[in-house]
Amino acid sequence: MSRFFAFFSKDLIPDVKLALTYLAHHGLRTFLTLLGMIFGVGAVIAMLAVSRGGEIEALKMIEGMGVRNLIVHDESPLDDSLADIRQHSAGLSVADAKAIADTMPFVDTWAGIRVVPVWDDLFSPQGNSSAEVWAVSPGFFQMSGLEPSLGRLFDIEDDARFAQYALLGDAAARRLFPRGDAIGQRVKINYLWVEVIGVLRDRQLTGESFQGEQVGGESDRVYIPLQTGLKRMSRNQMDSELSMLKIKIAPSQDLSAAAEAIDLILDRRHGGQDDFRMVVPAKLLAQQRQTQRIFAIVMCVVAGISLVVGGIGIMNIMLACVLERRSEIGLLRAVGARRTDVVRQFLIETTVIALLGAFLGIIAGVVIAYGVNLFSHWAVAFSLLSIVVAVIVCATIAVGFGVYPAMAASKLDPVAALQSE
Amino acid sequence: MAENGNSSLISVQNLCRTFQVGDMAVHALDHVTLDISQGDFVAVMGPSGSGKSTLMNILGCLDTPTSGSYRLMDQEVSDMEDGLLSNIRNRYIGFVFQSFHLLPRLTALENVLLPMRYRKQDEDVRIDRDRVREIMERLGIADRMQHHPNQLSGGQRQRVAIARALVTRPSLLLADEPTGNLDSKTSEGIMTLFDELNADNQTILIVTHEDEVARHAKRVVLMRDGKIEQQVLQQDRPSQWT
Ligand SMILES: Nc1ncnc2c1ncn2[C@@H]1O[C@H](COP(=O)(O)OP(=O)(O)OP(=O)(O)O)[C@@H](O)[C@H]1O
Ligand SMILES: [Mg+2]
């Protein structure tokens, strides 16, 4: 192996220089040869950038939902079957949450969420907004990684006395109080006036939802204490108490086992009715990876085909070069080049072509990735690794497809080669 | 090393080179026996197809004989493998061709230095720049070092090619019709150069059709149908060959 490298590294500069002058002389031909390479490498780079971007984004989303959280959604149907279900099940409720927390030692905390139906825009003395209103347990914010940028959060006491307080998401605050200074001001939700005690910091999640689960959107939301939402806002007879239940599982506990146990309790408490749905954010990550993997395989195939086509293009052009330069090869042999020297010269040339292709391909890949980002809003992230991979793949292809023409060149009979013009 | 007190640079005995063309065997060289000693200046003449180039290619280790013996500096080279032959070409042989064979993308200087690329790595390959300059000055092309071949005249191109052949201090300078592409005045210049080189004890073998060119050699070999028909010293040469 070291001999192999010594063979290449020996006095590289003049050979590389010579290779470059040949390639420059046939500029257009070289470029056309390189296209396959460029697309192949471009696809690899773009693919790696998009899947890495997706991964980072997914992790951010999962963190937004809480890696150790389980989320139970109320799935009460909207049609006539609801009446039947309600005979057996009262729907997702605070009592469910308490039962789970009491019987399952691995539950760290929980938070109930009720999405309050709003029949009109929210009003403040300064403006209005169509933000969603969520009534949430005081623990909700900490579980979801939300922090106030101004003011404070609710505490248990506020919840217990149905305090008419509100916390505003960043966007909601800007709409309701365009002139700022929201703290201490009042907002009207349906017929209820609530006092703003805090504004939440924006987490800047790019997506609204991930694998079908709502994640972002908290910025354009108004939060009130759960009990305020339950006791002071009207609720239909048939509606379940909670729209969502977030349960934080102790770090030592396996998430799927916990999800199964909780599912079992809820199933019993709901009389076997299918009116809830459990989401394990950590599992969504696996789903997301699966989707990414399919995408990656498709891109790899495209890249692979491109690279093989590119390699064949290079081989083709090198064979043409060998033919064109027969008399030159003859001369090199006459002044003392061994067969291996000729092989080396041509392999250096193919490698220079391939590295040029890799370089342009990397640029193409970056452009493609940003293009994808621009049109589909998929996140992209570049890594040094992907560039290293691209260069290595190219060099390998070059050597692989360059060997045959180089050998052909070295096997030419020097006398015959010298005579050809 | 010398055998039988023989101090020949080149000693060829019963050399044959046969080309197989379809069913027919072409005897390009047919039992050629020839000695060339150090400092000799030999012109090979003869009609087209008589085997002059074939002989030169074998003497230059570009081609190998079908049978017979070829000793170069008392070493049998007729059955050497390619790597060794390449090394011999690189060290001991300098070629000059009718069509110059310069690499068009390299400057004159780079062309001249081309043989130095194929020296082994562990060897001191640093080229004596002064020597290159001296050679190029002697050939009158020192001011053309940075020019590309297409910026040079035919005579200048051939001088660059000769400089390339001389840069390795070869034991044997082989020239196959070096003046074939040049006008008579330029030819005369090149031949004067060969005379000077030979005066410095450079062994030269030249293939030519031209009488004026052959006149510069010390010895003339006439070939016909792959055989050496006549070998004479210059002064014994009849005024016109038949
Ligand atoms: N590669 C080859 N294959 C078949 N026959 C060949 C080959 N090379 C040379 N010959 C034949 O060998 C003979 C000698 O050729 P060679 O080139 O040595 O002649 P020459 O004396 O140099 O002629 P010229 O003065 O025209 O250059 C010719 O008959 C030629 O046809
Ligand atoms: Mg000839």
Domain-terminating residue out of A227, A246, A274: A274
Residue B54: its pLDDT value, please?
94
Question: Atom 29, ligand 1: which residue's CA is nearest?
Answer: B49
pLDDT at A2 over 70: no
Instruction: Give the closest of B86, B90, B105 to A25, CB-based.
Output: B105
What is the C-alpha to C-alpha distance for residues A321 and A412, in angstroms, rounded to an integer? 13
For chain A, the domain total comes to: 2
pLDDT at B106 over 80: yes
Mutate which of B50, B59, B207, B223 for ligand 1? The one with the most ligand atoms within 8 Å of its CB, which is: B50
Instruction: Give the closest of B89, B117, B164 to A14, CB-based.
Output: B117
CB A339 within 8 A of CB B82: yes
* Nearest atom in ligand 1 to B223's CA: 21
Residue B164: its pLDDT value, please?
93
Residue A326: its pLDDT value, please?
92
Instruction: Give the closest of A10, A332, A336 to B87, CB-based.
Output: A336
What is the C-alpha to C-alpha distance for residues B223 and B30, in angstroms, rounded to an integer? 10
Mutate which of B16, B53, B63, B64 for ligand 1? The one with the most ligand atoms within 8 Å of its CB, which is: B53
Question: Atom 16, ligand 1: which residue's CA is nearest?
Answer: B51
- Contact criterion met (CB < 8 Å) for B103 and A328: yes
DSSP symbol at B114: G
Q: Which residues of A fall within a CB distance of 8 Å from B172?
A: none
What is the C-alpha to C-alpha distance for residues B10 and B204, in angstroms, rounded to an integer? 11
Name beta bridge partners: B203: B172
Residues in contact with ligand 1 by the CB-under-6-Å rule are B 19, 21, 26, 28, 46, 48-54
Residue B242: its pLDDT value, please?
46
CB A90 within 8 A of CB A241: yes
Q: Say yes or no: B57 contacts chain A, CB-CB below 8 A.
A: yes
- Kindly report, residue by residue over A64-77, the tens digit of the pLDDT: 777 888 999 998 88
The full set of domains in chain B, from first to last, is 8-236 (3.40.50.300)
Residue B139: its pLDDT value, please?
85
* Nearest atom in ligand 1 to B52's CA: 21
Q: What is the mean pLDDT of chain B?
A: 88
CA angle A319/A322/A323 to nearest 5° reads 90
Residue B2: its pLDDT value, please?
39
Q: What spacing in Å lies between the alpha carbon of B48 and ligand 2's midpoint?
A: 7
Cα–Cα separations (whole angstroms), residue A315 to A28, A309, A406, A417, B50: 16, 10, 9, 20, 40
Share of chain A above pLDDT 90, in %: 27
Q: Which residues contact B197 (CB under 8 A, 6 or more apart)?
A: B166, B173, B204
User: In the A/B pair of chains, how many CB contacts fall below 8 A?
Assistant: 66
My answer on whether A389 and A313 are in the same domain is: yes
Task: Please provide the distance, in angstroms rounded to a whole number, between the alpha carbons at the two ends of chain A.
Answer: 38
Quickly state the pLDDT bin for A280 (edges 50, 70, 90): confident
Quickly state the pLDDT bin for B3 (edges 50, 70, 90): very low
Question: Atom 24, ligand 1: which residue's CA is nearest?
Answer: B48
Residue (of A25, A54, A408, A94) closest to A240 by Cα position: A94
What is the C-alpha to C-alpha distance for residues A352 and B52, in angstroms, rounded to an integer? 41
Mutate which of B16, B17, B19 for ligand 1? The one with the most ligand atoms within 8 Å of its CB, which is: B19
Closest-CA residue of B relative to A327 is B101
Whether residue A246 lies inside any domain: the answer is yes
My answer on whether A239 and A317 are in the same domain is: no
CB A7 within 8 A of CB A344: yes
Residue A110: its pLDDT value, please?
92
**Which range among A32-46, A223-237, A293-307 has the greatest average pLDDT?**
A223-237
List b or e across A297-312, with b for residues whose CB sees 16 or more CB atoms inside 10 angstroms: eebeebbeebbeebbe
Q: Which residues contact A276 (CB under 8 A, 6 or more apart)?
A: A72, A73, A74, A75, A91, A92, A266, A270
- Contact criterion met (CB < 8 Å) for A335 and B164: yes
Closest-CA residue of B relative to A11 is B117
Quickly state the pLDDT bin for B240 (edges 50, 70, 90): low
Least confident of A101-110, A319-328, A385-394, B77-86: A385-394
- Kindly report, residue by residue over B152-207, the tens digit of the pLDDT: 998 899 999 999 998 888 999 999 999 888 888 888 988 998 999 999 999 999 99
Q: Which residues of B fall within a CB distance of 8 Å from A22?
A: 105
pLDDT at B84 over 60: yes
**Which range among A62-66, A318-322, B38-42 has the greatest average pLDDT?**
B38-42
Whether residue A67 lies inside any domain: the answer is no
Domain-terminating residue out of A251, A274, A297: A274
Whether residue A238 lies inside any domain: the answer is yes
More confident residue, A357 or A212: A357
For A281: left if phi > 0, alpha if psi spans -120 to 50, otherwise beta; the answer is: alpha
Whether residue A279 lies inside any domain: the answer is no
Whether residue A149 lies inside any domain: the answer is yes
Residue (of A342, A12, A331) closest to B89 by Cα position: A331
- Kindly report, residue by residue over A156-172, the tens digit of the pLDDT: 999 999 999 999 998 88
Domain-terminating residue out of A274, A308, A342: A274
- Contact criterion met (CB < 8 Å) for A418 and B115: no
My answer on whether A187 and A331 are in the same domain is: no
Name beta bridge partners: B222: B45, B230
More confident residue, B25 or A120: B25
- Contact criterion met (CB < 8 Å) for B86 and A338: yes
- Contact criterion met (CB < 8 Å) for A6 and B99: no
What's the average model confidence in pLDDT over A311-334? 90
Residue A10: its pLDDT value, please?
60
CB A111 within 8 A of CB A136: yes
Whether residue A36 lies inside any domain: the answer is yes
My answer on whether A179 and A220 are in the same domain is: yes
pLDDT at A193 over 60: yes
Closest ligand to C-alpha of residue B52 is 1
Residue B4: its pLDDT value, please?
44
Q: Say yes or no: B241 contacts chain A, CB-CB below 8 A.
A: no
Rounded to the nearest 10 degrees, what angle do helices A2-9 and A339-376 cross at? 90
Whether residue A172 lies inside any domain: the answer is yes
Structure tokens of B44?
């090979």
Residue (of A293, A378, A352) closest to A21 by Cα position: A352
My answer on whether A106 and A233 are in the same domain is: yes
pLDDT at A306 over 60: yes
What's the average model confidence in pLDDT over A238-262? 89
Q: Which residues contact B242 (CB under 8 A, 6 or more apart)?
A: none
Structure tokens of A274?
């299918």
Quickly state the pLDDT bin for A49 (edges 50, 70, 90): confident
Which ipTM was obtained for this model? Answer: 0.91
More confident residue, A293 or B96: B96
More confident residue, A66 or A185: A185
Q: Which residues of A fall within a CB distance of 8 Å from B106?
A: 18
What is the C-alpha to C-alpha distance for residues B190 and B197, in angstroms, rounded to an integer? 11
Least confident of A1-5, A22-26, B106-110: A1-5
My answer on whether A262 and A305 are in the same domain is: no
Q: Which structural domain range is residue A12 located in? A: 2-61+287-419
Alpha-carbon gap: B237 to the closest alpha carbon of chain A (Å):
32
My answer on whether A152 and A222 are in the same domain is: yes
- Contact criterion met (CB < 8 Å) for B87 and A21: no
For B158: left if phi > 0, alpha if psi spans -120 to 50, otherwise beta; the answer is: alpha
My answer on whether A226 and A339 are in the same domain is: no
Residue B27: its pLDDT value, please?
93
My answer on whether A266 and A296 are in the same domain is: no
pLDDT at A4 over 60: no
pLDDT at A207 over 70: no
Whether residue A66 lies inside any domain: the answer is no
Closest-CA residue of A relative to B84 is A338
My answer on whether A180 and A238 are in the same domain is: yes
My answer on whether A331 and A294 are in the same domain is: yes
- Contact criterion met (CB < 8 Å) for A414 and B62: yes
CB A405 within 8 A of CB A318: yes
Quickly state the pLDDT bin for B37 (edges 50, 70, 90): very high
CA angle A333/A339/A344 to nearest 5° reads 105
My answer on whether A216 and A121 are in the same domain is: yes
Alpha-carbon gap: B87 to the closest alpha carbon of chain A (Å):
6
B81 three-class SS: coil
